[in-house]
Structure formats: C-alpha cells, structure tokens
Amino acid sequence: MTNDQSAEQLLELAAASGAEAAEVFQSQSLSKPIFFEANRLKQLESSQSEGTTLRLWRDGRPGLAVAYGPVEPEKLVERAISLSTLNQPETVELTASTTLSHYPDIGESVPVEQLVSWGK
C-alpha cells in the first residue's frame, strides 16, 4: 500500500468511526551515515524511517495518534478516538491545504565509492 492509499484509508476510517474532521501527516527519511577512522572506512550504516500522524475531532474533541513503521489503520484511528474522549471540545483547526503536499528530498545521494574516495 502506498502512502497516499494509507492516508486515504485513514481518513475514510476516521469518518466511518464518527470523526467530523481529520487530517493525516506522513514523513519518510533515509540516511546513510558513514564513519572513517585513520582515513579508512570503518562503518557504513543505512537507516530508513516512516512516520504517520492522525489528528481527528470526534464530538468536537481532538484526538491524536502517532505511529512509526508499518501502521494498522484501524488501530491508529482507534487510538486517536480513544484519546479524543479525554479532551475538552475545541474548535476544529485543520491545516490550510486540503491537498496532498509533497516536499522535495533534501540532500543528494552519493555512491559509497565516492564517499570512500573522499575519506582517503
């Protein structure tokens, strides 16, 4: 399932669960730290993460749930709704954009061979 599909599914599940408003935020990151010691490659790592946040209002009460890694949409909606029961009613304040926003990647990919060369 793509991020767009999971976001749409979360919004549909939130609405079906009685939320009068909801929004989804998702982020992904990939990093490849490389470590040198005495001008030699010591360690090369790769780290990838994905986060999903669901914010909703049910009966005017806000609820927020955050998950990292694979997400079971039903559980995320259930958590956000459970938390909403603990909050006082407040005005719904969604982000100004109602469309999907995609931000450009930051940084550039550099082949390991180039990193090793620079390390020397």
Domain residue ranges in the chain: 3-94+104-119
Predicted pLDDT of residue 29? 86
pLDDT (tens place) for every residue of the chain, 120 residues total: 456 568 889 999 999 999 999 999 888 888 888 888 887 888 888 888 899 999 999 999 999 999 998 889 999 999 999 999 999 999 888 877 655 666 777 778 888 788 778 777
Three-state SS annotation for 35-84:
EEECCEEEEECCEEEEEEEEEEEECCEEEEEEEECCCCHHHHHHHHHHHH
50 close to 27: Cβ distance less than 8 angstroms:
yes
CA–CA separation, 34 vs 28, rounded Å? Answer: 20
Contact assessment for residue 9 and residue 26, using Cβ atoms and an 8 Å cutoff: no
What is the structure's pLDDT at 10? Answer: 93
Fold assignment, 3-94+104-119:
PmbA/TldD fold (3.30.2290)
| C-alpha–C-alpha distance, residues 108 and 82, integer Å | 41
pTM: 0.71
pLDDT at 64: 95
